[in-house]
Structure formats: structure tokens, C-alpha cells
Amino acid sequence: MKTVILALMVLVLVVVSQESKFPYEDVLNDLNLTDNKLVRPARDYKKPTWVYVQMSILAILDVKEIDQTFVSFVVIYMTWEDPHIYWKPQNFDGLDKMTVPTDLLWKPDLMIEEMIEKDKDIPNPFITIHSNGFVENVKNLMVVSSCKMQVYKFPFDTQSCTLSLKSIIYPEEELKFEVYKNSSQATEWTREIMSTESEWLFMGMTVEDRSVPRFHQHQSVVIYTITMKRRSLLYVVNFLVPVLLLFGLDLASFVISDSGGEKLSFEVTLLLAVTVMQLILNDILPCSSDSIPLIAVYCIGIFGLMMISLLETILVMYLIEKDSASKEKKADKKKQGNYDGDVKKWTRCACVCNVSDEPPTELLSVAKEDKRSQLMEESNSLEKHPDELSEAVKGLSRLLSRKEGRKPDYWTRVAKKLDRIFFFVYVTVSALFLVVLFSLWINAEDE
């Protein structure tokens, strides 16, 4: 008898221990979860299923301005009530919640509307169920979404990208999304769990739920707007400062002499360097911007100022060269005048000698004597004409010298005066341009 009682007691202890050790199987059997329950859970099919959703950003991976895409790693938390899931914890050794495979239950067909690439999620094979009928599901996604970039204030810009959560097929009458936490709570949660922000600084997050029309039906949508500010220090050091230094070298080129071609080649080199910086900028900014970015205005303005400086250098060099050519021309004329004077003297001597060396003869006829007298008259007239011609040339030379004597190196002085005036105007206009542009950037950064 004692042996039988002892055996019964051992059996009861084994049964009790088994019930307390493996309550999960009992719950699954009690809920009949061995069969798939993939139908939308609702007590009344005419009423919608409410899904409470909360999204947070774990990391800002990249923002591609040229493609206008926002790459982020997000976590989405969802909870909803399933009337088929309910048990009393006291009947199962106080078991209040448990984790089951996701294939056993229905899940919302959640999608991100702005996603433009294949869903790169980390599969979560389990789902959590509670004794009160609520189900929890967590999804981790790497999202590549479209985002319209506002690059007017680049690199001191602030971007706002939206992620809209909605169902793929369910209308608002069957499935409704509601925000689990408000905007301030969502922002604080995101700041606590965010691991990396790349070159961006997370500013905040706003969230709202609304009903939007989709084709012939309305759908419930939860819209998250992520606001982030660019860390601009790298762009300032690698782009803005080098362009400004090139412009400073262009200002320093005014101390280079205009007489040679060194200044011209130096300014052309600076202009090519700014062109290279513009090509680099073209690979960063999108082509579909609504307005011209301030950084593009900055590069174009610097390029235009340097181009005007180059044209002024060409004009100054032309004026100086004009004076040099005039001096050379005067020297050639003076040398040619000396040569003509010598020729005239030799011609006069030759005429006199030809007349005086003619041998006299008494046997010549009267006609020949008349001819000799005629030649003598012609030689006397030739002696007079070179004197008159030389006097005319001297008078013309005096006239030209009086005309040009008023302005020796005239164009050189004009060029130097023009260069000084242009330098002051150039510095003034450049300073005003840079002050206005940087004030716009500073105001944009404060905003």
C-alpha cells in the first residue's frame, strides 16, 4: 500500500513539473497555433484592425545630392490586437508573453512609400504575443528612399526627408495605422539609439497620421519627416577656402609688371584652377535644382571677376605695346631721314661735278653752246630744289614733333592710370560681392 501511494505521489510531481517546465506547448495547443492564422484579425470584419506603429532611425548612412536619395537604417515597431490570441496566465504557470515564428500569425503588409530600391531588411523570424491578445513585431530595414534636396544654401543647408508608412493593399476601412509616440517622444527615442550620422547632424523628427487617396480608395498613412543639418566644415576647408585663396592670388597679380607676359600667363593659370573647382562642384550638386545654389553663384562670381581682371590685363598690355611700337616707328623714321639727307647731298654734288667737269671746246657749234647754257640753268635749278625740299621736310618734322611732343609715353601713362583705377574698383566690387554672399550663408546657417 505504501508503495502504491509513493508511486502516485511521484507521478503527480512529474506531471506538475512537466506543466511548469513546458507551458509554451500548452499555450500553442490551447490557442490552436499549430495551424496558420493568416487572416486579418478582427472581431467584426466590417471594422478596421488598428495597428500602432513607431519608427526610429538607427543610423543616417548617406545623403546623395546628385541622385536625391536618402539612405538610412531604421527600426519599425508595430503592435496590434489579435482576438484569436488570448489566454489566462494563471492557467499556464504565470506565462504572460511568448515568442513564436512569424509564419504562424498575420502581420500588417507595411511598406515605405518613398523606397526606390529593393527592401534590404534583416529578417526577424519571430513575433511576440501577449496573453491579452496583443502582438508585437519589430523590423530592421536599410532604406534607400527618394528625397527632394534643397541645395540653395549648400554646404550650409538643412534637409527634410519623409518616410511614409502604409499598407500595400488594405484600404482605410480594413486597416488603420496610428502613431504610438508623438513627435517629441520619437525625436528623443531616435537620439538615444542613433549610432552614426555620417556628415549630418540629426535635428529632429515630426510624425503625423492621415488618410490619403490611392486610386479608387483611401489608405491610412503615417508620415515621418526627418530634419538634418549638414556638417559644413569639410566643404569649407576643401572647397570654399581654396577658391578664396585663388582669388587672393589674382589680387596679388596686380603687383606683377605688365610689360612682360608673366602676368597674363599667371592669371590664365588661376582661371583654369577655378574651372577645375567648378567641375568638381558639378559632380556634387543635382542638375534638377529649383534655384541656383549660393556656392554656384560664389564660383561663377569669382570666375567672372577673374575673367574681367584678365581682360583688363590684356588691355593694359596692348596700350603699353602701342607706345613701344610708336617709339620704334619714330626711330626708324629718324634713321630714314638721315639716310635721305645724305642721298640728297650726294646728288647735289654729282650735279655740280657733272656740269663743271664738262670739257670746253672752241670747235663746238653755236647750237652746242646754247645747250650747255641750258644745262647750266637746269643744274642751278636742281641746286635750289633740294634746299626747298629739305626745308619742307624740316617744317613737317617740326609740326609732327610739336604734335607728339605733348605726350611722350602717353599710352603707357594711360595704361598705368587705368590699372590703378581698375584695382580700386575691382577690390571694392569683390568685397561687396563676398560680404553679401557670406551674409546670406551665415543667415542660412542660423536658420
pLDDT above 90 (res 74): yes
Q: Averaged over 226-235, what is the pLDDT? A: 91
| C-beta separation of 37 from 104 below 8 A | yes
**Residue 220: predicted pLDDT:** 92
**Residue 101: predicted pLDDT:** 87
**DSSP-derived 3-state class of residue 109:** coil
* Neighbouring-strand partners of residue 212: 219
The percent of residues above 90 in pLDDT, for the chain, comes to 31
**Residue 199: predicted pLDDT:** 87
Comparing 104-113, 319-328, 423-432, the range with the smallest average pLDDT is: 319-328
* Neighbouring-strand partners of residue 37: 105
- Residue bearing the bigger pLDDT, 91 or 356: 91
| C-beta separation of 79 from 134 below 8 A | yes
| C-beta separation of 139 from 121 below 8 A | yes
Which pLDDT tens digit goes with each residue over 385-408? 555 556 665 665 565 555 555 456
Which pLDDT tens digit goes with each residue over 428-444? 999 999 999 988 888 76
Q: Averaged over 58-70, what is the pLDDT? A: 90
Where does the pLDDT of residue 341 fall: very low under 50, low under 70, confident under 90, or very high at 90 and above?
A: low
Q: Give the dihedral of Cα atoms 315, 317, 322, 326; nearest 10 deg.
A: 160
Rounded distance between C-alpha atoms, residue 313 and residue 325, angstroms: 18
Q: Averaged over 417-434, what is the pLDDT? A: 92
Angle, in degrees to the nearest 10, between helices 241-252 and 262-282: 170
Which three cell numbers, joined as nine digits, stand for 298?
560664389
**Of the candidates 147, 162, 159, 137, which has an alpha carbon nearest to the alpha carbon of residue 57?**
162
**Residue whose cell numbers read 538607427:** 58
Residue-wise DSSP of 311-371: HHHHHHHHHHHHHHHHHHHHHHHHHHHHHHHHHHHHHHHHHHHHHHTSPP-SSS-HHHHHH
Which pLDDT tens digit goes with each residue over 236-258? 999 999 999 999 999 998 888 87
Rounded distance between C-alpha atoms, residue 144 and residue 131, angstroms: 37
The percent of residues above 70 in pLDDT, for the chain, comes to 71
**Of the candidates 328, 275, 337, which has an alpha carbon nearest to the alpha carbon of residue 304?**
275
Where does the pLDDT of residue 355 fall: very low under 50, low under 70, confident under 90, or very high at 90 and above?
A: very low
Where does the pLDDT of residue 208 fall: very low under 50, low under 70, confident under 90, or very high at 90 and above?
A: very high
Rounded distance between C-alpha atoms, residue 309 and residue 314, angstroms: 9
Which pLDDT tens digit goes with each residue over 40-51? 887 787 889 999
Mean pLDDT in the chain? 78
